[in-house]
Amino acid sequence: MSFSRLTHLECGRCGAVHDSEQPQNLCLTCGSPLLARYDLAAVRASLSPADLARRGPDLWRYHELLPVRDPAHVTTLGEGMTPLLPMARYGERIGLPRLLMKDEGLIPTGSFKARGAAVGVSRAAELGVERLAMPTNGNAGAAWALYGARAGLAATVVMPVDAPEITRRECVASGTDLHLVDGLISDAGRMVGELVAASGGRVFDTSTLKEPYRIEGKKTMGIEIAEQLGWRQPDVILYPTGGGVGLIGIHKALNELRELGWIGGSPPRLVAVQAEGCAPIVRAFEAGERESRHWDGARTVAFGINVPKPLGDFLILEALAETSGTAVTVTDAELLAELREVAALEGAFVCPEGAAAFAAARKLRASGWIGPDEQAVVLNTGAGLKYPGTVPVDAPVLGVDAHLPPRARGGGGA
């Protein structure tokens, strides 16, 4: 049995076919992102959902639908198969008693970016790449730096100076060539582009959607959701959207599963959640446009979705249209309040981006767009521990001879 059923790369815009057996960036015809394609008939003939149950609990259980040819090139830290948790108390509070959370905060490197890094780094190493370079808002750079180190590849990472501090420490710990820029991820992207262009092919650009395999790692979230629900689909999936790779990947995964015959029925309605301070996808969606326009002055505490102009914007908007989905904004104040409420009711310290998706679920239930009996899945894309500054601490400092007040000893109310 073939480890991978990858056949070729296809442009997501013009459909041009590209060779999957050499390093590729954007479409040589129109400059758009490339998508990996598989021999799904061969997968269907050789693999069933029951076969997966006998495999290890990581994303490589789906290796036929991933691009790495030789298992010897798999670079892994145990990523995948994150829990799909019921959020009953919080769900009751907002009117969605069947609400679920896919918790990516428990994955290696502390965010869902590890999925894309695992597959992207593995395939890059297999194709002979020796140095990676990428701009990042923090978590992706940390993930690619650490997985690059695991694979023995060198890496250059450029991130905004106000990116989460822990992500730069992850890069430094891995020995990555790290640079900070006093600007946005788009400024970091320009610098990486210049480096790659001047390298004579010695540096490979792994920017979001400028290589085709990060999305393949991200799509495993969609496969896992279906498998964890017994090969059925929820009604709604809410995804915090910056570059949008996870949303595109989930949509791609569910389309592939449908073609395999493993799932049926209508697809989940996909929701792109953005911050009010950076919402190019929401603006384009509401205007009925097929692409977004650059968002000037982008700013939000949910740093991972602070992307002024996603390269794959047309793929995000296509996914929303094809699933009868929507796009919605939340304010920083709303998402920070939701972060605290989710933690207080469920004990889950989610990241600001995940909190934005919870705030969107509340809004969409209040408007009636999500019904009270529908099952919605919120993607929490990282650990709240990576953003300690989102929760200020104003606790009393006691002297060594002090005594706790009655409430702290159990004498107060709930």
* pLDDT value at 4 more than 60: yes
- Residue 377 has a pLDDT of 99
SS3 275: strand
Residue 380: name the closest of 165, 107, 138, 191 by CA: 107
d(CA 309, CA 186): 8
Q: Distance between CA 189 and CA 357 in Å, rounded? A: 26
pTM for the whole structure: 0.96
Q: What's the rounded Cα separation, in Å, for the pair 209 and 35?
A: 9
Place of tokens 């695992």: 118
The pLDDT, as a whole number, for residue 305 is: 97
Q: What percent of the chain has pLDDT over 70?
A: 98
Residue type, 322: E
Alpha carbon distance 383, 351 (integer Å): 5
Q: 414: pLDDT confidence band, cut at 50, 70 and 90? A: very low
Predicted confidence (pLDDT) per residue in 92-146, tens digit = 999 999 999 999 999 999 999 999 999 999 999 999 999 999 999 999 999 999 9
pLDDT band at 413 (very low <50, low <70, confident <90, very high): very low
CATH class of 84-110+215-386: alpha beta
> What's the rounded Cα separation, in Å, for the pair 136 and 163?
9
The answer to whether 384 and 343 are in contact (CB under 8 A) is yes
Structure-token pair, residue 40 = 């799904």
Strand 6-11: give its sheet, edge to edge.
17-18, 6-11, 34-38
Is 218's pLDDT higher than 50?
yes
Helix (H, G, I), strand (E, B) or coil at 202: coil
**Residue 52: pLDDT over 70:** yes
Per-residue pLDDT tens digits for 353-404: 999 999 999 999 999 999 999 999 999 999 999 999 999 999 999 999 999 9
Look at residue 408 in the predicted model and tell me its pLDDT.
65
Q: Which of 295, 284, 146, 315 is nearest to 215 (CA)?
A: 315
Please list the alpha-helical segments (H only) found in 271-346. Answer: 280-287, 313-322, 332-346
How far apart are the C-alpha atoms of 340 and 355, rounded to whole Å?
9
Residue 59 has pLDDT above 50, yes or no: yes
Contact 255, 276 (CB under 8 A): no
Strands 84-86 and 100-103: antiparallel
What rounded mean pLDDT belongs to the chain? 96
**Residue 176 · residue 238 · CB < 8 Å:** no
Domain boundaries, the chain: 84-110+215-386
Q: Which two tokens stand for residue 218?
A: 């991200």
Output the DSSP codes for 153-199.
-EEEEEEETTS-HHHHHHHHHTT-EEEEESS-HHHHHHHHHHHHHTT
Structure tokens of 375? 């099952």
Question: For the residues 271-275, what does the mean pLDDT come to?
Answer: 98
Distance CA 45, CA 35 (A): 23
pLDDT, tens only, 157-197: 999 999 999 999 999 999 999 999 999 999 999 999 999 99
H/E stretch holding 225 reads: helix 214-228
What pLDDT score was predicted for residue 1?
A: 64
CA distances from 47 to 3, 4, 254, 261, 314 (A): 11, 12, 16, 11, 32
